[in-house]
Amino acid sequence: MHSIWSLLAPEHCVHCLEPLAMSHKLLCQCCFDQLDLLCSINRCPFCFCELTHAGGCDRCKGNLRSFDYLASAFEYMGPAKTLIHELKYRNHPTLAKTCAAFLLLQLHELRWPTPDVITYIPQSFLRALDRGYNQSELMALGLGIFLQRPVARLLKKVSPTLSQTSVTAEERKKLSDEHFALKKQNKVILEDAVILLIDDVCTTGTTLERAASILRAYCPKRIYALTFCHTE
């Protein structure tokens, strides 16, 4: 019973492991205060990297994107990194609702339109079997409840791949365009719709680009991509 209660109401901060006050859950006040939402001002709208000069983003210059805008809630460091790590690798699916709440706050800051449909990056069958859940799907479902918008599994994974954390940036860019495919029954949903695509971490944006390119072929009005963390 004690172990179950510790999971539901941990006694220590999940990041710094300091004892938690009765009024706090998951994070102590010090770690919670480090969760500053990333500001979109002076960031590239296509990769969300900080702009270093007035001429625009050198990384995205000349590259056509399948999504209209990309943003993240936090940098992949500190308490934010710990939260997503606990969600993905430590079997804490209940953290998805907390992550979804921060995504909601970031959406308000970004002032993006309310989506018609929320979707997410799918997992391979083997990954889903191993982990037992898709963290991006759980965050999307939580966000759908907050926004009162439908969440649909628009995409499916059509080929097994290495974990994105185990490949280089160049290897990511070489991933096949057939990495994702649209689930046939979703073609009507996409036409002239505003789509919000959710994932956990954005590194190069390659995964989001591959997914958005499949969605773009079916004429949505806009595609917005939002992740919990951003890293370069």
Residues 94 and 7 in one domain: no
**Is residue 116 domain-shared with residue 41, that is, in the same domain?**
yes
Same domain (yes/no): 15, 53: no
Domain range for 220 is: 36-230
Do 102 and 81 lie in a common domain? yes
* Residue 64 confidence (pLDDT) above 90: no
- Report pLDDT digits (tens) over 130-189: 888 999 999 999 999 999 999 999 999 886 555 555 555 555 555 544 489 998 777 778
Q: Are the C-beta atoms of residues 165 and 199 closer than 8 Å to each other? A: no
Buried b or exposed e, range 42-78, using 16+ CB within 10 angstroms: ebbebbbbeeeeeeebeebeeeebbbbbbbbbbebee
Total number of domains constituting the chain: 2
Give the residue-averaged pLDDT of 95-100: 96
pTM of the model: 0.86
What would the pLDDT profile of 3-61 be if each residue is shown by its tens digit?
444 445 568 899 999 998 876 788 999 999 999 999 999 999 999 999 987 777 888 88
User: How far apart (Å, rounded) are the C-alpha atoms in residues 215 and 195?
Assistant: 9
Confidence of residue 129 (pLDDT cuts 50, 70, 90): confident
Same domain, 93 and 10: no
pLDDT for the residue numbered 169: 59
Amino acid 130: pLDDT: 81
At residue 2 the predicted structure's pLDDT band, cuts being 50, 70 and 90, is very low
Q: So what's the pLDDT on residue 72?
A: 98
**Could you tell me how far CA 50 lies from the centroid of its own chain?**
18
Question: Cα 156 to the chain's mean position, in Å?
Answer: 17
pLDDT > 50? residue 81:
yes
Of these ranges, 73-82, 84-93, 168-177, 182-191, the one predicted with the greatest mean pLDDT is 73-82
Statement to judge: residues 3 and 93 lie in one domain: no
Q: Which amino acid would we find at residue 77?
A: M
Residue 228 has pLDDT above 60, yes or no: yes
The verdict on 92 and 12 lying in the same domain is no
Q: CATH no. for residue 183?
A: 3.40.50.2020
User: At residue 198, what are phi and psi to the nearest 5 degrees?
Assistant: -110, 140
Whether 89 and 199 map to the same domain: the answer is yes
Same domain for 10 and 43, yes or no, is no
Residues 12, 113: one domain? no
* Start-end of H helices in the chain: 2-8, 29-32, 78-89, 95-110, 125-131, 135-147, 169-173, 187-190, 206-216
116 and 202 share one domain: yes
DSSP state of 21: P
